[in-house]
Amino acid sequence: MPRYTFICQDCQKSVQLFISYAEYDTAVPTCPLCGSQQLKRRIGRIGIAKSEEARMDSLLDENALAGLDEDDPKAMGRFMRKMSQEMGEDLGDEFGEVVDRLESGESPESIEQSMPELAEGGGLGE
Ligand SMILES: [Zn+2]
């Protein structure tokens, strides 16, 4: 039997009542604490949408960062490209080249070795 949460308008307590679907339309919910029938259905959290900003944050956290496999150059490349697109900045030819090479499956180590100026600058992502 489904359980519903009500707020009693008289004693201001939150009460839970079991009401079957068949009864729901005709049932008069009664406060088990004070006997009042002035109960208001409390809507659960489910219907409350996150703000767009929070949704973007959670997308980044859960899907991009948590799902990032640092041993997978292609995933690294996709991640770096996505980040640069979201920042909306042109991070330069070197960055673009690194991303291209990561996405083609080249390891970060070999890219650094072939681009000494990159290694001197602190390496990838450091
Ligand atoms: Zn009550």
In the block, residue with structure tokens 């008289």 = 10
User: How far apart, in whole angstroms, are the C-alpha atoms of residue 56 and residue 33?
Assistant: 43
Give the distance (Å) from ligand 1 centre to CA of residue 41.
Answer: 13
How many other CB atoms are found less than 10 A from the CB of residue 10? Answer: 13
Give the distance (Å) from ligand 1 centre to CA of residue 4.
Answer: 15
Tell whether 32 and 60 lie within a shared domain. no
E strand or H helix that includes residue 95: helix 93-103
Tell whether 77 and 97 lie within a shared domain. yes
Give the distance (Å) from ligand 1 centre to CA of residue 46.
Answer: 25
What pLDDT sits at residue 91? 77
What is the Cα 12 distance to its own chain's centre? 34
User: How far apart, in whole angstroms, are the C-alpha atoms of residue 85 and residue 6?
Assistant: 47
Structural domain span for residue 27: 3-42
What is the Cα 24 distance to its own chain's centre? 35
Tell whether 72 and 26 lie within a shared domain. no
Tell whether 31 and 83 lie within a shared domain. no
Question: Has residue 69 been placed in a domain?
Answer: yes
Tell whether 64 and 115 lie within a shared domain. yes
Give the distance (Å) from ligand 1 centre to CA of residue 14.
Answer: 8
Tell whether 92 and 56 lie within a shared domain. yes
Question: Has residue 47 been placed in a domain?
Answer: no
Give the distance (Å) from ligand 1 centre to CA of residue 1.
Answer: 22
Q: Could you list the pLDDT tens digit for every one of the 126 residues in the chain?
A: 788 889 999 999 999 998 888 888 888 999 999 999 999 988 754 444 445 555 555 555 555 555 667 778 888 888 888 878 877 777 788 888 888 998 999 988 888 888 877 655 554 554
Question: Has residue 16 been placed in a domain?
Answer: yes
How many domains does the chain fold into? 2
Decide: 85 and 113 in contact? Cβ < 8 Å.
no
Give the distance (Å) from ligand 1 centre to CA of residue 40.
Answer: 11
Q: What is the pLDDT of residues 85-95, one digit of tens each?
A: 877 777 788 88
Q: Report CA-CA distances (Å) from 64 to 39, 61, 79, 82, 124.
A: 45, 6, 7, 9, 18
Decide: 105 and 69 in contact? Cβ < 8 Å.
no
Question: Has residue 26 been placed in a domain?
Answer: yes
Question: Has residue 24 been placed in a domain?
Answer: yes
Question: Has residue 81 been placed in a domain?
Answer: yes
* Total-model pTM: 0.39
In the block, residue with structure tokens 């859960």 = 62
